[in-house]
Amino acid sequence: MDGPLIVQGDASVLLEVAAPGAGDAREQLARFAELVKAPEHVHTYRITPLSVWNAAAAGMRAEEMVAALRRWSRYQVPPAVIRTVNDLALRFGRVALMPGEDGLIRVAADSAEVHEALAHDRLLAPYFSGRTDGAEWLVPEIERGRLKRALAYAGWPAVDHVGYIDGVPLGLSLREDAGIRLRHYQEEATASFLATGEGVVVLPCGAGKTVVGMAVMARLGMRTLILVTSVTAAQQWRAELLDKTDLESEKIGLYTGRSKEIRPVTVATYQVLTHRTSHTAEMPHLGLLRRQGWGLVIYDEVHVLPAPVFQTTSEIQARRRLGLSATLVREDGLERDVFALVGPKRYDVPWKELEIQGWIAAAHCVEIRVPVSRELRMAYARAPGRARPQVAADNPQKRPLVERLLSRHRGLPVLIIGTYVSQLEALAAQLGAPILTGKTGQRRRDRLFADFRSGTLKVLVVSKVANYAVDLPDAAVAIQVSGSFGSRQEEAQRLGRILRPKSGKNQAHFYALVSQDTVEQDFAERRHLFLAEQGYEYEILTAKELTEGADA
């Protein structure tokens, strides 16, 4: 068969993008393999323990994974890869955590061989100090999270049957009288989480992750702590709860740097939880995670979960935990910690599938290669390695291209997004547009967001503060003038800013301006992994091609 896949003996898989059946093959492969490289014609995936375990946790069997490889592979699948997939998938759940007595949990293995493997693993030795008559290990409940993390790193991802504290009851429901009804994928995501009580739901920005969180809250009916990335995100969660549920305002509290309200539903920022006066001081607010009778903790944008919150998360395993994210990729490699401490991926749906169904806008993605002058090239060559990304980002030849793109999309709401404040300030001054950065006061932020949503403001220049959980539902065009070191998280968030459904053609446009033959071009290739993961095609144009196309 002339299939689109070439499966290699090292568990990497090549996908020929233009081959017949490539789209269907990509959709199946992405469920249990991670995309690691996405040049124009051939994409490279890798089958990893975590990718297989997440697929297994979502209900995909080893037989289905192997069948997909055989169905789409151009050549015979190497037997070693089939064994790897089978072995990894079968490892999931061979160790189970069970309820015990007197503050202990039982750790059970499904065979004597696995039991012995656990007993002799140095990562697990600190936890296994006693055993029952039935040859199960006994571990203190307080170690539940750290044990699950150690098991994942030792290659034995556990299924947790210990159960959860119900927490203080809280009655709320979605406002169906106001037309708040779950879309089919939101219903599926909610049910997938409730089947276990822990895990991550992955949906694109604009597809209603917040509604999934509220649906879970309504079904469970328990006191809830919601953790978010910023004060703006906290305020927006509060507004969404008031708009879409029957909760009264006095039952929703904000726990941020500006206020410390603890209510039956409390929305807190990661920043305030990890705040401390010095590197050696205690984090006084982290105790909020352990107190107040929470029955549910929601981690918004779980892929940015700070390390100190990871540590505390390991101590609250008795609470149901829902992670919400547009992508589970972490640039620090701690995806396995999310898997162990918050839970495995319970639900994911390809962005392109939601686009086809009309739930998010169609996105036209274009990378524009911008020439670099001789003077800038010399400055770039002389700059220290750490300074080169900003030197490349400050390429003045990007500025006329921004103006040309604004002219092309005149009348549409446009976000100009970047990393370096000096570059953005120069652009904002040139365009006569307002700018929003980390130094912008909350009142001005709220006013700019409101003006942008209302349509009175058509162009807004934003720094990284707009990456996460900022509700800009009417953005139709994003122009990215600089990015952060090839971060797929950032690419997902920035693209997500323009994906809410649009009237008419339901079309959005995403442009990335990249200085040619610099580190920006390398970063762009890594960021585009995210676009390829979701099935997006993207054009690569030179500045000259863009100009000629606009003038034609």
Q: Note whether residue 156 is domain-resident.
A: yes
pLDDT digits (tens), the chain, 552 positions = 688 999 999 999 999 988 999 888 988 998 899 877 766 678 889 999 999 999 998 889 999 999 999 999 999 999 999 999 999 999 998 999 999 888 889 999 988 888 888 888 888 888 876 665 557 888 888 889 889 999 999 999 999 999 898 889 999 999 877 678 899 999 999 999 999 999 999 888 778 899 999 999 999 999 999 999 888 889 889 999 999 999 999 999 999 888 889 999 999 988 888 887 777 777 778 777 777 789 999 999 888 787 777 777 777 888 999 999 887 766 666 788 888 889 998 988 877 778 888 888 887 888 899 999 999 999 999 998 888 989 999 999 999 999 999 999 998 889 998 888 999 999 999 999 999 887 888 788 888 888 888 889 999 998 877 665 455 556 889 898 987 665 666 666 677 677 776 776 778 888 989 999 998 888 887 767 667 666 676 788 888 888 776 554
Pick from 316, 349, 382: which residue ends a domain? 349
Pick from 91, 106, 134: which residue ends a domain? 91
pTM above 0.85, yes or no: no
Q: What is the DSSP string of 387-453?
A: GHHHHHHT-TTHHHHHHHHHHHTTTS-EEEE-S-HHHHHHHHHHHT--EE-TTS-HHHHHHHHHHHH
121 and 236 both lie in a single domain: no
143 and 204 both lie in a single domain: no
315 and 416 both lie in a single domain: no
199 and 318 both lie in a single domain: yes
User: What domain range includes position 64?
Assistant: 5-91
Check residue 176 and give its pLDDT: 78
Q: Note whether residue 167 is domain-resident.
A: no
Q: Note whether residue 141 is domain-resident.
A: yes
338 and 395 both lie in a single domain: no
Say how many domains are in the chain.
Answer: 4
Check residue 485 and give its pLDDT: 61
Pick from 65, 91, 117: which residue ends a domain? 91
512 and 412 both lie in a single domain: yes
Cα 467 to the center of its chain, rounded Å: 11
23 and 38 both lie in a single domain: yes
Check residue 542 and give its pLDDT: 86
Q: Note whether residue 168 is domain-resident.
A: no
Which of 50, 44, 19, 10 lies closest to 32, judged by CA?
Answer: 50
For residues 493 and 326, the answer to whether their CB atoms sit within 8 Å is yes
Q: Note whether residue 171 is domain-resident.
A: no
437 and 511 both lie in a single domain: yes
Q: Note whether residue 166 is domain-resident.
A: no
Q: Note whether residue 133 is domain-resident.
A: yes
371 and 290 both lie in a single domain: no
Check residue 348 and give its pLDDT: 84
- Distance from C-alpha of 245 to C-alpha of 363, rounded to nearest angstrom: 31
CATH classification at residue 504:
3.40.50.300
